[in-house]
């Protein structure tokens, strides 16, 4: 058996309810051909877990453990080839299903792992059995908790920054709500690319932190004239 975290169904309307967390014992998953068993060493949270607990997220499940993001170590494999490739390796898990490679968007019905119908596991469980195709090697320069935080927000920010915005060195970019998980990844990607990064936040402290991470300027969206303040900060040579 293994421990897992679910939400418990209680009465209440979407947006007004806040489902409690429930720790349960579930059978330890067994692997099928093509799969490996990952012992989860760290899991990360996204705002979606709050939305799920408020019943403000599509397709929520009371039977599926929560958590889209996780990292761990491969402890069992289903073939000698997979054993050679993965056994004992530190890995991150892919957070979605139904979206393979198209830049346009999901090719099929897209589901994010954890707390939802359509995928039977989450990362807030001790062991996950998944196809080898749903793993990536964890970056060796990161700790396991750092690696666990990357997949969902990192992919979302990557797509927004590069696939959609096609950001290049020397361009100006505005990242709104810099205190957010996705925004913080977008900031780091944009700075690494050599863009000039402007941010908004409802908190001066978060703007100061963003500047430490490489943002050029920030304005507080709680001030009515924030867009004018921002315009005044743009470089005169490339507004
Ligand atoms: N997390 C994911 O992997 C993921 C995946 C797909 C889509 N998304 C979507 O991406 C968005 C951000 O998700 P997240 O997980 O990063 O959420 P989050 O961590 O909760 O961040 C949301 C941020 O939005 C900012 N904000 C709130 N009110 C604002 C306002 N009036 N004007 C400007 N900014 C405001 C806040 O920034 P300050 O704290 O700086 O004030 C807050 O930190 C959401 O729409 C989410 O549904 C997220």
Q: Is 200's C-beta closer than 6 angstroms to any atom of ligand 1?
A: yes
Dihedral over Cα of 21, 70, 157, 160: its sign: negative
Residue 238: its pLDDT value, please? 75
Residue 236: its pLDDT value, please? 83
Q: Is 176's C-beta closer than 6 angstroms to any atom of ligand 1?
A: yes
From 181, 186, 198, 218, mutation site for ligand 1 pocket: most ligand atoms within 8 A of C-beta: 181
CA 174 to ligand 1 centroid distance, Å: 14
**Residue 145 CB neighbours (<10 A):** 12
For the chain, residues with pLDDT lower than 50 are: none
Residue position matching structure tokens 């195709």: 133
Q: Is 72 helix (H, G, I), strand (E, B) or coil?
A: strand
Burial (CB count within 10 angstroms: exposed 0-12, middle 13-18, buried 19+), residue 8 = exposed
Fold of 2-147: Quinone Oxidoreductase; Chain A, domain 1 (3.90.180)
Residue 237: its pLDDT value, please? 80
Which residues make beta-bridge pairs with 40? 72
Q: Which helix (H) or strand (E) holds 155?
A: helix 151-158
- Tell me the C-alpha distance between 191 and 69, whole Å: 24
| Domain ranges across the chain | 2-147, 156-233
pLDDT digits (tens, 9 = 90+) for 21-65: 999 999 999 999 999 999 999 999 999 999 999 999 999 999 999
User: Do 114 and 68 touch, CB atoms closer than 8 A?
Assistant: yes
- Tell me the C-alpha distance between 213 and 199, whole Å: 11
- Taking CA atoms only, the protein residue closest to ligand 1 atom 34 is 177
- Tell me the C-alpha distance between 200 and 160, whole Å: 17
Q: Is 179's C-beta closer than 6 angstroms to any atom of ligand 1?
A: yes
CA 176 to ligand 1 centroid distance, Å: 8
- Tell me the C-alpha distance between 165 and 160, whole Å: 6
CA 20 to ligand 1 centroid distance, Å: 23
- Sheet of 127-131: strands edge to edge? 127-131, 35-44, 69-77, 90-93, 135-137
Provide CB contacts within 8 A for 52, sequence distance 6+.
7, 19, 60, 66, 115, 116
CA 184 to ligand 1 centroid distance, Å: 10
- Tell me the C-alpha distance between 210 and 218, whole Å: 8
**CATH number of the domain at 156-233, please?**
3.40.50.720
- Tell me the C-alpha distance between 4 and 8, whole Å: 12
- Tell me the C-alpha distance between 110 and 74, whole Å: 26
CA 79 to ligand 1 centroid distance, Å: 42
- Taking CA atoms only, the protein residue closest to ligand 1 atom 25 is 177
138: which DSSP letter? P
Query: In degrees, to the nearest 5, what angle opens at C-alpha 49 toward C-alphas 13 and 203?
Result: 100
Dihedral over Cα of 153, 158, 164, 168: its sign: positive
């Amino acid at each position: 058996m293994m421990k897992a975290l679910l939400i418990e169904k209680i009465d209440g309307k979407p947006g007004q309810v806040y489902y409690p967390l429930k720790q349960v014992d579930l059978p330890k998953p067994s692997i099928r051909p093509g799969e490996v068993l990952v012992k989860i060493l760290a899991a990360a949270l996204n705002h979606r877990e709050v939305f799920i607990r408020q019943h403000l997220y599509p397709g929520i499940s009371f039977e599926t453990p929560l958590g889209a993001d996780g990292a761990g170590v491969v402890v069992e494999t289903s073939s000698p080839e997979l054993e050679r490739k993965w056994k004992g390796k530190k890995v991150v898990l892919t957070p979605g299903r139904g979206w393979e490679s198209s830049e346009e968007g999901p090719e099929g019905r897209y589901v994010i792992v954890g707390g939802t119908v359509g995928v039977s596991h989450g990362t807030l469980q001790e062991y996950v059995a998944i196809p080898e195709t749903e793993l990536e090697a964890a970056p060796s320069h990161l700790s396991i908790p750092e690696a666990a935080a990357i997949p969902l927000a990192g992919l979302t920010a990557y797509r927004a920054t590069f696939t959609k915005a096609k950001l290049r060195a020397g361009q100006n970019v505005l990242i709104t709500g810099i205190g957010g998980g996705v925004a913080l990844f977008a900031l780091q990607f944009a700075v690494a690319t050599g863009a000039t990064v402007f941010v908004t936040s409802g908190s001066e402290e978060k703007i100061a932190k963003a500047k430490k991470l490489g943002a050029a300027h920030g304005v507080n969206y709680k001030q009515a004239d924030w867009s004018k303040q921002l315009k005044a900060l743009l470089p005169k040579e490339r507004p």
